[in-house]
Structure 1
Amino acid sequence: MDYFKRRPIKLQLLVIFIMFVAVVVSVMFVTYLQSQKMIYQKNQAYSIELLDKITQYIQSQIDTIDGLIINTSYNADVHQYLRTTELLDKIDAFKKVDTYITTVSQLENGIVDMTIIGENGNNVNLMYHRQKKKVVLDTVEEMKNYDSPLKPYYAGFKEIVESGIQKHYFVIGSKISNTFPRSTLGYLVVILDLDSLFPKFNTMLSSGFGSFYVLDRNGIVSSSNDARLIGQRLELDTVDARQEPYIVQTMELRDLQGKIVNVYSKRDLFRGLEKVRAVYGWIMAVCIPVLLALLWVISRNILEPMKSFMRFIQVQKVKNIYHGQERIQLVGYNEIMVMADKFNGMLDEIDQLTDEVVASKTRIMSLGLLKKQAELAFLKQQVNPHFLYNTLESLKAMAGETGAMEVREMIVALGKLLRYSIKGQDEVTLGKELDIAKAYLKLQQFRFAGRFDVHIAFPEALLNNRVIKMVLQPILENAITHGLESRMEKGNLWLSARATPGGDIVLSVQDDGIGIPGEKLALIQAEIAAGEEFLSRMHEGDNAHLGILNVHNRLRSAYGEPYGLIISSEPNAGTEVELLLPQRTEDSYVESAAHR
């Protein structure tokens, strides 16, 4: 090492440059290998995720169609039509069933035809188109051997020629069975347009790669981004015409009795790696000449000025310049001027930090004074609530003497609510919080005189948990004022609590009032997500939802994330507000207080 130090600085810089380039190349090589691995894994995960999304989409469409078919199979008018033998009853039932099928076909997109064939010879919409009729009858024959009467039978892809044009459909059938005694009344066959069941791959897979094939129970391609194979049986040797290594991923569609197949080349998994290679090439092509130029500049124009600058700094330090108000003033090389400016900037920052320290101490003292003033103001404000509470006690006694017992009960509830709000600890048991909520609801029911009913369901095991007080009353007030008060009919208010599997507590306040419009609900949810920023809006006068926001931020401040408030609503259906808080029993609260 000493030998290296004694070498000329240019030689040292050259050696450092070579070592730096070697390290950069090594790092780039390692990062390239890591990038290759990450891109491969990312693209593979993306392919699996895309396949899962397509499966979920198809499954959601299947669930919708299953519900439609099952509802039709168990329709009372359909059963009546397939059981009746009297001509007049048959005509009347036929009209009802025909109207029902026509309505369903018009309301549900993608339904081409719906046909009902009864074991007693009663049929509905058995079309005269020869190929469609054959498809329906073939499906019925297949269903006779189908052992699961509770699930629709997905017959699969069918190709039908209409007016000289080949059209592709998907056929689904279902047995129509009598419940008791168990017997088959007939069969329902639905012909669907492919777009109503499968996604449009050409638009959905704009950023994907490879080919996707949806196969029916017979292995026939029913939908794909490779249009030439639709209606054919999938053979992998016909898919990969380039003779490249490829990967095949499949996912079962159990309800469809088919599956989804994704076939893509292994080369596709490295898509994007060519950009990494190009970037690395440009980095090397640009950096090496730039580094060589910097090596020359450093050795020629910076090293000597740096030495001069350091000598100047030492001289100024000996002159005790740090203890005066002077700054270094140099005129010369640009590098020297920059370093001198940085040094002067450092001295300026020292002066600024000193001023900030003095200002911070002054501000701390001012805040202490403000705190004392606030405490005095709080003590003064306690006089009015105590005077009001004593007045209520007097009114309660007078109401008892005069026999106005209902008024006395209202005064008792109001006094309990007032005493609860101005006295006691910040945290109480859930049982006490529930008592105050009941007192508040008693006041509101007296005020609204039977306009709504209250339903309370609190498990006894949860009442010993500690919560911050006054979290239920603002939510109840919001539900009554904005939900039930404007309702023309008698309403309901549900107040409940439950424990979650994760060990938390959910308090729920639900009403069947007028609900909240979508735009207003989105605004409230945005204000909840804004967190403590609502305080600035409160000072600006925007406090339309202050009660809800206040409860949410109190829960978040007391317990942290993810605790707080969740609100959901539908217009004319009601609103539900859920408060999520941790379980903290009386014993655990005392233990944590002792540790503090």
Structure 2
Amino acid sequence: MIGSVYRRYIKNNLFMKLLLSFALITILTIITLSYMMYHVMSQSVVQREMDNQKKAMESVNAFLSEKYESVQSMVLGVYRDPRLAADISYFLQHDFRDYIEHGLNRYYEEDVAPYGLSYFANRLEDDPDIRNLMLYSAEKQSLYVYNRQKSAKLHVTNAVHSYVPDAMALDNKNVSVPNPWIRKEIDQWDPRLFAVRTAMNDKNSLKYIGQLLIYFDSDGIWKSLASYKETLKGTILVLTPDGHVIFDSSGTYYGKSYPYMNQIQQETGMLEQESYITTLAQNQAGYVVVGAIPKQEIAAASQGWRRTIIIASVLGILIAILFPSLVVINFAKRTNKIIRFMKKVETGDLTSRIIEPKEDELGQISRSFNDMLDELNRYIERVYKAEIRQKHTEFAALQARVNPHFLYNTLEVIRMRAISQGAHDVGEMIFSLSALFRNVVQQKAVYTLKDELEACRLYLELFRIRYKDRFTYAIECDRELYGIPVVKMFLQPIIENYIVHGIEADRDDNRAVIRFSRENGTIRVRVEDNGRGIEPQRLEEIKEALGAPEEVGGSFGLRVVYERLKLLHGNRAGMELKSKPGTGTTVTVWFPEKEGAGESNV
């Protein structure tokens, strides 16, 4: 089935092959460009979403860093105020009852109320994200706790009865998840909390005396993500180095260890599903912000682009194929029209003409085809007339060759009579004429340059005898050229023109010179004389007559030589005339050296 369709519609149909090739190239090109465009757009979507998530992660990091810095700022505020530093130092190194008595005594003696604990109570009121603020005394192993209700409670955490001192002694990072023993001690079990703590030293002795520990509400991080809530994709987590979850935007892993801790250092990895991963570490505070976007969400975001690119590609393919197809079909119709006319010409109808008004390549072919038919008709007419002339010529040649020996014998009788009467010059002329006549009428398989030179010499010798010392001639030809085949009698008409029209009987220096030369495979013959010359107007008429039909113009001899050379050698042969009145005439003839063998009798 496919083979028959190929043989019928494609195999011998150039335009169908062009159309199919163009369609295939177009489809492959558009599909390739569409794929590249989709790939670039997909990468752009991925990059945009990851950049958006990274900005959100930076906001989360900025929020956590702010809380971390606020805790450090609280401690620095204590150190900057000597009375406050002394009050807090006394509080952390003595029992609570002693601290109260010490404060009353100072108030009595200095009229200054203690404000160490109120300083931290005010900080709790200033930051709504603080859930608990705790002061731990390392010496007394007690924990003083504030909550959001601004109530305070002192917890005795002696190492004998509690693990809190051990938990506070651990070298944890500054930002972490709340310790479970501290949670138990203060009865705080909300999983959405993160802890920030810092050591406190005595200002004077620099002795470690305790710690400031603050629990922040993790939901406060959402405030930093408010501007990204509509566009944020994937999940943002804040993790401790050991994998505990400080913040989880999905709410899945609060109170748990993150199970994919080993995969977060990769750019892509399998979490709940294959995802793009970005990390932002905060070494000073000791946490890492992780962003994970599932690849399926990215693909869903680029779904609209993919649909648009597919529709645009299909439309592009249809347009790119439809319009060229219409143009190709139009060309095919016009080409088939030309082919039909060619087939009509093959049947012998030379009157058919292609009507094609357009100026494109097919229009030029049509007009060239019409011109060819016109030229063919003219050529047929010329050949037909040439054949008629050839028949006449052959008939005349047959008549001229009737019993030529009768003419030879008659001329020989006349020559002997002239010699017997003492007219030796007449006898010599008759001998030259007889030899010339024999040379002209005899038929040879190959007529060479040597034969032509001999005929010219005999003809010139006749007139040398006639004019005696008033006319001389010279023939200059290398013997290597003697064997070259030439057109018979191509020089005699040129010499005859000089004898008839150029020689001056009253001068005693008439001279004709024939020179032969070989130039790049071309034989050049130069016939020079010092005769009357030709008037410029007459010279132009002769030149025009060379290419004219036989019935038009004069200079029959030169025209016959020119036509015979052109007929045998084409454009590689030619003739040139130069003349100046009173100075002489030069006729130059050239033709190719190798061509023409076997055609010398043309």
Q: TM-score range by the shorter chain?
A: 0.3 to 0.5
TM-score for both structures, normalised by structure 1: 0.40
